Amino acid sequence: MKFSELWLRSYVNPSMDSAALSHLLTMAGLEVEVMEPVAADFTGVVVGHVVSVAPHPDADRLRVCQVNVGADAPLQIVCGAPNVCADAKVLCATVGAKLPEFEIKKAKLRGVESMGMLCSARELGMADEADGLWLLPADAPIGMNVREYLRLNDNLFTLKLTPNRSDCLSVTGIAREVAALTASAWQLPTFDTVPASAVDVPEIVVTAKDASPRYCAQVIAGINPNAVTPDWMVERLSRSGVRAISPVVDVTNYVLLELGQPLHAFDLDKLNGGINVRMALPDEKLTLLNDQVVQLDQDMLVIADQNGAQALAGIMGGAATAVGDTTTSVLLESAFFQPDIIAGRARRLNLTTDAAHRFERGVDYAQTNYALARATQLIVAICGGEASAVTEVLGDLPKRAAISLRPERAVKVLGVSLTHEQVGDLLQRAQFDYVAEGNIYRVTPPSYRFDLTIEVDLIEELARLYGYENIPATTPVAALSMLPDTELSRPVDNLRHVLVGRDYQEVITYGFVDAVWEADLAPELTPVTLKNPIASHMSVMRSTLMGGLLDVLQTNLNRRQTRVRIMEVGHCYLAQDGGYAQPLRIAGLAYGDVMPEQWSVAAQCVDFYDVKADVVAMCIPQMVRFEAAQHPALHPGQSAAIWLGDVQLGWLGALHPALVQKFGLSSTPVLFELAVEPLLATKVPEHGEISRLPSVRRDLAVIVEQNLSAQSLLDAMLSAKIPSVIDIALFDLYRGKGIDSDKKSLAFRVLMQDNQKTLTDQEVDAVMAQLMSLLQQKFNAQLRS
């Protein structure tokens, strides 16, 4: 919201300077993002009257001017502007004037003395380029200081408003807020209502009364199409960032800025029949004022005549009934549209309008008629014409239920000793209607405050009006006690620390992702679709962390990072019957070389087993197992499901070749994704005696079927729980010469130890025979000679 300080002070004028006013608004929650002067700092520039213009004796492009600045005699000034002429009112910088870039001194131009300078907007720092002098109206007072005449001692405020403060999207709304904060008097613009004339009004029908509970219209006939918008209005509009177009359009824009009520003017002669406020019909189209042709959805509200939709209600008018240079009669519309019926529709059509910005946040439904009367008065004053009586169609307006406010509760929340009288005074300053019932105030929110619904909202208002800076900073007092810390679980940070220690870097990616990612990486799941996404490529909630990691990988590769190891802990979002699930997961990605480039280690690209070692290290002390399985996003021959007991934790594998090509990667990354919650459970450490006796190692090499997994053999041997066996691990896999093509050789390291005695060869042989017998019975394994 951008506005002129002088405009604001015409409604409320507290006794504080501009800086203090800016600080006051910011501390009240209306952040002043920018405060800038209307014009650069300059002095000594006055209104001049060019008495005469004569050619320069030695320069064809220069003129010698006699300029009256209200002094005893005219000043002789040499000027080269093409539009200088006799009897013109101009900006004249006298000798000694200080302009933004230089100071005016006596000078001679081609031998002719010059006692000043005639200025354009560029010399005053108010424009980057200028074609000639800034010519003033004929009634400009000669000799008057230009800063005073053009009201340049003004500042432009730009507020960064939060979405809940739609009541401050107008100058009068901000004035009302300043009056409440400073206990100053303020007033709405006063004007005489235009009397109604016998002007015919088209029939007004509101079919969608729930969407438009108040619709007002008024006809203004016989307006002058050649009328000109007055300078004071053009000035206020331009200082608010709005370009003047034509008087009728300028008035609607002016009232929008002044009162916060969007209006729309139809060219009455272009309307066919009466007005119907209804929902859009199937396959209905509309050409908007910006010449954009839009396909309307059936949940969009339109203003229609017999020819069809003529305006998109609360967003933008249609080109077919737009006001033009030949318009002599207009139908002026002022309405209250429910915020829910406007919200999101403009964004859906890639539109951004001031009207939609206000309607979707809520406008003051009690001010609809007042804004229409204000606009009618301005149009008639500027363009002439006659106004009809107002046609109003009413439905069920929003009900503002009273909110119970307990002063004692406010004191407890704010930490300030407010009396009942102080609370009542603050509510009066905010213009809230209330009734005191014992120790409770029943406060009815005003029609322009859609953000006040519960008690804490009113407590926040008390804090703002009292002043956040006046609330003392007190040290909180609380009891400190040791919280229980069980050894049966570990924090998520433990997982993070393990991966960071193994050279991973943590990243944080968006929960909103591209629907294409979900189709590629989790085609078996239906993603949660957003109704109002912040961007087209962030239209669904993620059901896997892989998409974000691949996006980060691409970003790093685009910046010439050839080795990437990243991890993320975050929630995924899954649709379920009756609701949604938000499982916490941990995922990682490794790409490029195993080790950073160095002279002592040969370059080797990261593979499945490198990342498997990282996953195992992260899961310790939990014992996980890996089973070959296929995942749609992973390489069919290089992927595995990760299990913890009977629970599948997640997946590990190289990215699918098709996705490697789709993402434009030069080599294949390896990814994993695990559920976090099962990994957080752990066991209490148990004391065990450290044997003084040496362990015994024996190797067991067996030949088994090609399709048997090594894990199944390991599980079988470990499940036997032979007392002297302390560890069994796979250390070799062989296929080739000496082994049948449908067979493979697996070699296991078996460690045995007894805490009480040294194992004999007979005991060791017996254990190995027991293991071999087990493998023969379960897997038809043969001892490899």
The amino acid at residue 776 is Q
72 is in an annotated binding site: no
CA pair distance 554, 560, nearest whole angstrom: 10
Locate 250 and state its tokens. 């300028």
Query: Which residue in 96, 260, 270 sits closest to 170, CA to CA?
Result: 260
CA pair distance 394, 215, nearest whole angstrom: 7
3-state SS string for 589-647 = EEECECCCCCCCCCCCECCHHHHHHHHHHHHCCCCCEEEECCCCCEEEEEEEEEEECCE
Query: Which residue in 147, 150, 103 sits closest to 123, CA to CA?
Result: 103
Instruction: Count the residues in the chain.
Output: 785
CA distances from 316 to 289, 301, 332, 343, 356 (A): 7, 11, 14, 14, 8
Contact 632, 604 (CB under 8 A): no
Tokens 């001194």 identify what position?
Answer: 105
At residue 125's C-alpha, the angle toward residues 119 and 128, to 5°, is 95
The amino acid at residue 600 is S
524 is in an annotated binding site: no
Backbone angles phi, psi at 595, to 5 degrees: -115, 150
299 is in an annotated binding site: no
| All residues at 6 or more sequence positions from 517 whose CB lies less than 8 Å from its CB, including other chains | 542, 546, 547, 550, 551
Burial of 719 (0-12, 13-18, 19+ CB in 10 A): exposed
CA pair distance 767, 713, nearest whole angstrom: 16
What letters, b where the CB count within 10 A reaches 16 and e where it falls short, cover 513-547? Answer: bbbebbebbbeeeebbeeeeeeeeebbbbbbbbbb
Q: Find the radius of gyration of the CA atoms of the chain.
A: 40
CA pair distance 493, 510, nearest whole angstrom: 20
The amino acid at residue 499 is L
In DSSP terms, 271 is beta-bridged to none
Tokens 């406060």 identify what position?
Answer: 443
CA pair distance 109, 116, nearest whole angstrom: 11
371: left (phi over 0), alpha (psi -120 to 50) or beta: alpha
Q: Is 494 helix (H, G, I), strand (E, B) or coil?
A: helix
CB atoms within 10 A of CB 239: 21
**In this structure, are strands 204-206 and 275-279 parallel, antiparallel, or unpaired?**
parallel
CA distances from 268 to 219, 322, 325, 389, 676 (A): 8, 9, 13, 15, 66
CB atoms within 10 A of CB 61: 10
Contact 12, 68 (CB under 8 A): no
Burial of 773 (0-12, 13-18, 19+ CB in 10 A): exposed
Positions at the binding site: 451, 457, 460-461
Positions at the binding site for Mg(2+): 451, 457, 460-461
